[in-house]
């Protein structure tokens, strides 16, 4: 199937991460021109170069143009649209690798089921393609398919007036994050926008609540990651991007981070609301009901819990606040940057080109 495909695609998931199949994925992409979409915990397993390897949240609209899809340790569930239209093409053919045989075909019929370790199965597929003398395909179709989306993401949130946009926050952070950084995402509106900009080049590179719990667990995840990295002696900085609603759920854990000297950078997209729920009430009832609250001073809470605190009330203040916070983190402190965000930015997620989560694609529609 892979040898015959004109537009093959690999979608990698947690199984690829746990079997550490990065080299095998990279080899298939390099030798046979197969683009890779990294989903969930597989992000960073192969560097997301935006040429042949892409984050699923940004590039999933191209999946519907693939004629053959290889799910490499990726559960066929809601996170990838259940492997069905409109996310994937009606006539596409599917290969699924999973070390749990009962998982194969759970979400949709699979033409080629492979029960086994992802790393070993990918190596066997590469060997079989080489034995057949298979030629590489031109994987440039995927980059071309997502070009309009990348242009829309790049042009959005660049207004310097009023309060900041989460995309502005993500750009400012991406410009400062080292390649070996670990990013933790939390929240709803803001995390969706963060996914549009943040790229992962090391594994593990990305953690969020999508497979690992409910909204609000970002700070605990960041604490766990930072503590684990301290224990192993691995020099990797931890960055958390979260929303004000999500951050407030476990706000007291800043004391834990401070007590144990965990150097974590936290940026809070503070729109003074339950942003995603606000979108729904505006859409269904033409007003907001029970979803608005104050743009609280989380920076002052951070200072009260012996962390470094910064307030960024405008887009121009975001970058300098990040610089000061990163300096504090490098000195061994947890730092919180409280960024005031325009609550109406969340409404832009209705635009299909600004949707990073497959669920929103299906709910709001769009090409």
Range of the domain at 183: 156-364
Looking at the fold, whether 22 and 87 belong to one and the same domain comes out as yes
Looking at the fold, whether 122 and 166 belong to one and the same domain comes out as no
User: With 70 as the cut, is the pLDDT of residue 364 above it?
Assistant: no
Could you tell me the pLDDT band of residue 366, with boundaries at 50, 70 and 90? very low
As a whole number, mean pLDDT of residues 98-116 equals 94
Residue 151 domain flag: no
Beta bridge partners of 341: 164
Residue 62 domain flag: yes
Whole-number pLDDT of residue 24:
98
Q: Which of 146, 169, 202 is the last residue of a domain?
A: 146
Q: CB within 8 A of 305, min separation 6: which ones?
A: 252, 254, 255, 258
Looking at the fold, whether 128 and 259 belong to one and the same domain comes out as no
The strand pair at 93-98 and 206-208 is best described as: unpaired
User: With 60 as the cut, is the pLDDT of residue 47 above it?
Assistant: yes
We report the CATH number of the domain holding residue 15 as 3.40.50.1220
We report the CATH number of the domain holding residue 200 as 3.40.50.970
pTM: 0.93
Percentage of residues in the chain having pLDDT higher than 70 = 97
* Beta carbons of 76 and 82 less than 8 angstroms apart: yes
Q: Which of 115, 146, 177 is the last residue of a domain?
A: 146
213 or 1, higher pLDDT = 1
Name the domain count of the chain: 2
pLDDT digits (tens, 9 = 90+) for 291-342: 888 999 999 999 999 999 999 999 999 999 999 999 999 999 999 999 999 9
3-state DSSP percent of the chain in helix, strand and coil, to 5: 45, 15, 35
Could you tell me the pLDDT band of residue 136, with boundaries at 50, 70 and 90? very high
User: With 60 as the cut, is the pLDDT of residue 273 above it?
Assistant: yes
User: With 60 as the cut, is the pLDDT of residue 188 above it?
Assistant: yes
């Amino acid at each position: 199937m892979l040898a015959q495909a004109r537009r093959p695609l690999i979608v990698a998931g947690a199984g690829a991460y746990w079997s550490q199949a990065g080299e095998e994925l990279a080899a298939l992409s390099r030798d046979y021109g197969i683009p890779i979409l990294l989903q969930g915990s597989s992000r960073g397993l192969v560097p997301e170069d935006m040429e042949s390897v892409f984050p699923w949240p940004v590039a999933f609209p191209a999946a519907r143009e693939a004629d053959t899809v290889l799910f490499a340790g990726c559960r066929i569930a809601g996170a990838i649209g259940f492997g069905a239209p409109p996310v994937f093409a009606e006539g596409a053919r599917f290969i699924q690798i999973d070390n749990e045989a009962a998982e194969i075909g759970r979400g949709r019929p699979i033409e080629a089921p492979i029960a086994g370790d992802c790393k070993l199965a990918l190596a066997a597929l590469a060997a079989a393609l080489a034995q057949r003398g298979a030629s590489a395909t031109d994987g440039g179709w995927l980059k071309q398919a997502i070009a309009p989306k990348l242009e829309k993401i790049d042009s959005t949130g660049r207004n310097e007036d009023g309060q900041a946009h989460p995309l502005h926050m993500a750009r400012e952070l991406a410009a400062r994050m080292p390649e070996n950084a670990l990013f933790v995402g939390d929240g709803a509106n803001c995390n969706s926008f963060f996914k549009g900009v943040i790229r992962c080049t090391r594994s593990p590179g990305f953690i969020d609540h999508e497979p690992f719990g409910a909204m609000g667990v970002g700070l605990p995840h960041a604490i766990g990651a930072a503590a684990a990295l301290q224990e192993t002696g691995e020099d990797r900085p931890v960055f958390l991007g979260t929303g004000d609603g999500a951050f407030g759920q476990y706000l007291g854990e800043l004391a834990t981070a401070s007590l144990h000297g965990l150097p974590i950078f936290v940026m809070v997209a503070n729109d003074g609301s339950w942003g995603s729920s606000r979108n729904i009430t505006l859409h269904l009832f033409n007003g907001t009901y029970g979803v608005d609250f104050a743009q609280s001073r989380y920076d002052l809470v951070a200072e009260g819990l012996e962390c470094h605190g910064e307030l960024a009330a405008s887009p121009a203040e975001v970058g300098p606040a990040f610089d000061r916070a990163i300096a504090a983190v490098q000195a061994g402190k947890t730092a919180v940057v409280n960024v005031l965000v325009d609550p109406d930015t969340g409404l832009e997620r209705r635009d299909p080109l600004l949707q990073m989560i497959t669920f929103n694609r299906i709910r709001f529609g769009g090409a």
